[in-house]
Amino acid sequence: MKTIIEKIKESYSELVYKTSWPTKSELSNSAVVVMFASLLIALLVFGIDFSFEKVMQFFYSKVF
């Protein structure tokens, strides 16, 4: 059974030597993609919410 110290050393080794980190330009491009995707999803949710609100107002105005 491995000791805690050995596990920490292995984790550090994997983090430093086996992990590939993105470059600055790759990170910027990814951030832009995430921002646009988030905006698109937010607009889609807003549209669905707005439509549902109008449908419910229509039905409630007819019932009451």
pLDDT of residue 64: 63
Is residue 14, in this structure, part of any structural domain at all? Answer: no
- Measuring CA to CA, which residue among 24, 7, 5, 26 is closest to residue 15? 7
In a domain, 6, yes or no: no
4 within some domain: no
Q: What is the pLDDT of residues 2-18, one digit of tens each?
A: 799 999 999 999 998 99
What is the rounded average pLDDT of the residues 29-34? 98
| 47 in any annotated domain | yes
Number of domains, the chain = 1
pLDDT reading at 44 higher than 90 = yes
Full domain range(s) for residue 36: 23-64
Q: Is residue 43 domain-resident?
A: yes
Q: With the C-alpha atoms ordered 8, 10, 11, 12, is the resulting torsion angle positive or negative?
A: positive
Residue 29 covered by a domain: yes
Q: Let me know if residue 56 belongs to a domain.
A: yes
